[in-house]
Chains A and B, each alone.
Chain A
Amino acid sequence: MFSGGGMLSAFFLPATVLVMWIAAPLGWVELTVYDSFAALAHHFVVRLGLFGFVSLAFFHWAHRFRYTLYDGLQLYHLTDLIAVLTYGSAAILSLAAGVILLIL
Chain B
Amino acid sequence: MGEPVNPGYTEHHAKWHRRRIPIFWWLGNAAYTKFIVRELTSLAVGYAALVLVFQVWSLERGPESYAHFVSWLQLRPVVTLHVVVLGALVYHSVTWLNLAPRALVLRLAGRRLPGAVVLLLHYGAWLVASAAVLWLLLAA
Measured CA separation A73–B25 after assembly (Å): 8
Contact at A9–B89, with CB atoms within 8 Å?
Answer: yes
Contact at A58–B49, with CB atoms within 8 Å?
Answer: yes
Contact at A57–B39, with CB atoms within 8 Å?
Answer: no
Measured CA separation A61–B131 after assembly (Å): 25
Contact at B49–A72, with CB atoms within 8 Å?
Answer: no
Contact at A14–B90, with CB atoms within 8 Å?
Answer: yes
Q: Which residues of A contact B93 (CB under 8 A)?
A: 9-11, 13-14
**Closest B residue to A29 using CB positions:** B138
Q: A17-B89, A61-B43 are in contact. Are A47 and B56 (CB under 8 A)?
A: yes
Q: Is B36 an interface residue (CB 8 A)?
A: yes
Q: Is A78 an interface residue (CB 8 A)?
A: no
Q: How many residues of A contact B (CB 8 A)?
A: 55
Measured CA separation A30–B138 after assembly (Å): 7
Contact at B134–A25, with CB atoms within 8 Å?
Answer: no
Q: A6-B96, A31-B137, A100-B57 are in contact. Are A11 and B45 (CB under 8 A)?
A: no
Q: A17-B82, A21-B73, A64-B39 are in contact. Are A32 and B137 (CB under 8 A)?
A: yes
Q: Which of B39, B56, B85, B97 is within 8 Å of A100, CB to CB?
A: B56
Q: Which residues of B contact A68 (CB under 8 A)?
A: 36, 39-40, 42
Which residues 5-34 of A sit at the B interface, judged by CB distance below 8 A? 5-7, 9-22, 24-26, 29-32, 34
Q: How many residues of B contact A (CB 8 A)?
A: 52
Measured CA separation A38–B74 after assembly (Å): 20
Q: Is A91 an interface residue (CB 8 A)?
A: no
Contact at A50–B45, with CB atoms within 8 Å?
Answer: no
Stretch at the interface among B3-11, B111-119, B122-130: B122-130
Query: Please, could you name 9 A-B residue pairs with CB atoms under 8 Å apart, sorted by A?
Result: A9-B48, A10-B126, A11-B125, A14-B130, A18-B86, A19-B133, A22-B86, A61-B43, A63-B42
Leading 6 A-B pairs by shortest Cβ distance: A61-B46, A64-B42, A15-B130, A57-B49, A11-B129, A15-B133
Chain A positions within 8 Å of B, measured between CB atoms, are 5-7, 9-22, 24-26, 29-32, 34, 36-38, 40-42, 47, 50, 53-54, 57-58, 60-65, 67-68, 71-74, 93, 96-97, 100-101, 104
